[in-house]
Structure formats: structure tokens, C-alpha cells
Amino acid sequence: MESKKIYFVSDVHLGLPNSNESLKREKMLVEWLDSIKVQTEALYLLGDIFDFWYEYRFVVPKGFVRFLAKIAEFTDSGIPVYYFTGNHDVWAFDYFEQELGVEIIRKPITIDLHGKRFHLAHGDGLGPADKGFKLLKWLFTNKIAQVLFSRIHPNFALWLGHSWSRKKRYDDGLDDLIYKGHNKEWLLLYAREMLKTEAIDYFIFGHRHLPMHLVVDTAEFINLGDWISNYTYAVFDGEALKLLRLDGTVLAKEII
């Protein structure tokens, strides 16, 4: 019997750039989830699965039923699914937990998996830079701002959210595909700073859409890439962590 594996994926940005193109990627994601289900020990969604998500008390965004149903299928069959909120889906409240059985995680965590120490986060607002995201995250998680936004009619609020999110995505798109260098990648600097005081085997982040698998001092650093242009994910089989493309190609590790 094949051993179970732990999967990590992020930055699918369902809803971008329009419903037709998003549906194509959603179907690819669901097909991939279906292909790994029988061998999945746990699934970690590391944020920005949706390009914009906001839950009212009795209203959630239209669409994405194939993906949501597949996640419910995972949890109903006993496979734990963990959802890290990203900067595009920070307004996920209790819908995923109550309806889908997903555990929502809002902050970076360090956990042990099969004797290895993992540090997991979406990645926004971490490290010495990313000041703009830090300000936005403070605003988006502010209870007063959430209450005020909830008073806007869903038709306008969701249009406004999607419009802003698309603009932000296209403004940042090219920058996300450029490696900034070992001394300028702020998530890499964040990981190196943590290693000064903690023993971590693996760092896994989303947010930066550029796939990276780096050996950093005594640890391995992975940025998951995205499902807009790279279609990448990570898998841990209990012994080794790999970063792969959807076609099965393993991305090589770089020692820095």
C-alpha cells in the first residue's frame, strides 16, 4: 500500500481574471485534488485560493462549487484540510469550518510532521519589508472595518473587492515573477532570522508567486508558486519535501 503524503498548495486566485478563465483553473485544481485524494494524509491550503472572498453572515460569494464540494469530500472522508487565510481571502470567517469541516489558520504556525519541524504561513506581512501588506492586513483584520464593510450591499461590495483585487494582481504580476536575490527576498530573510533562535527543518510559504526551493543554512525553504502561470505544489512523503509542477516535473533545489 502506498504511503500517505501531505500536500501544500496556494495562490490559485479563483475568480481571476474572469469567471470563464477561472472555471478552467478550478476544474484543473479539482482534477488534481481528485488524483491525490487516496494518498493524502493532510491538505494545507496556504492562502489566496480565491482572488477575493468575503463572508456576510448569511451570504458567501457565488461560484466555486466544484472546488468547495471537493474539499467537503476530503473532510467527509476523514482527510484534514487546513486553510491559511491570505491577503486576498483574509475575510474568511466561519463558513469553511461550519460547512466544509476545514480548520482556518490566521497566523504563521510551527508544527511537527513525521518528526520534522515545519514553519507554515501564507507569507504576507512577514519579514523586514512588505510594509504595504502589513498596513492592509491591519486594516482588513480590524473589526470596525469589517463591520463597516458588512453594511455595504453584497452586489456592490463583491464587485468592489474583485475590481480592487484584479487591479492589484496585474499591478504586482511582473514583480511576482522576478527573483530579488538572496539578500532581498524578504521571506527568505524572515526564515534566516528565525533559524537564529529556532530549529526548523522546512519553511513553506505562499504569497510570492515565484516557485522556489532553496536550501538555507540547515533548513529547506519553499515558496509554492501559483496556479496562474506556474501550477506548482509541494508534497511531503514523511522523508523528503518536493516542489512539483502539475505535470509531475520536480523543481530542483538550489543551495544558497
- State the average pLDDT over residues 119-144: 72
Residue 172 has pLDDT above 60, yes or no: no
Half-sphere exposure of 190 (CA within 13 A, CB side): 23
Cα–Cα distance for residue pair 91/83, rounded to 1 Å: 12
Q: Give tens-digit pLDDT for 192-230.
A: 999 999 999 999 999 989 999 999 988 999 999 999 999
Question: What is the reported pLDDT for 141?
Answer: 65
Residue 164 has pLDDT above 70, yes or no: no
Cα–Cα distance for residue pair 182/200, rounded to 1 Å: 19
Cα–Cα distance for residue pair 216/241, rounded to 1 Å: 14
Give residues with Cβ within 8 angstroms of 111, minimum separation 6.
117, 118, 120
Half-sphere exposure of 192 (CA within 13 A, CB side): 14
Is residue 223 within 8 Å of residue 123, measured between CB atoms?
yes
Domains and CATH numbers, the chain: 5-255 (3.60.21.10)
What grid cell was written down for 220? 529547506
Cα–Cα distance for residue pair 242/251, rounded to 1 Å: 8
Q: Give tens-digit pLDDT for 69-80.
A: 999 999 999 999
Q: Give tens-digit pLDDT for 28-66.
A: 999 999 999 999 999 999 999 999 887 877 878 888 999
Question: What is the reported pLDDT for 17?
Answer: 87
Q: Which of 209, 222, 207 is nearest to 253 (CA)?
A: 222
* pTM of the predicted protein model: 0.88
What grid cell was written down for 56? 456576510
Q: Which of 15, 100, 26, 17 is nearest to 62 (CA)?
A: 15
Question: What is the reported pLDDT for 214?
Answer: 97
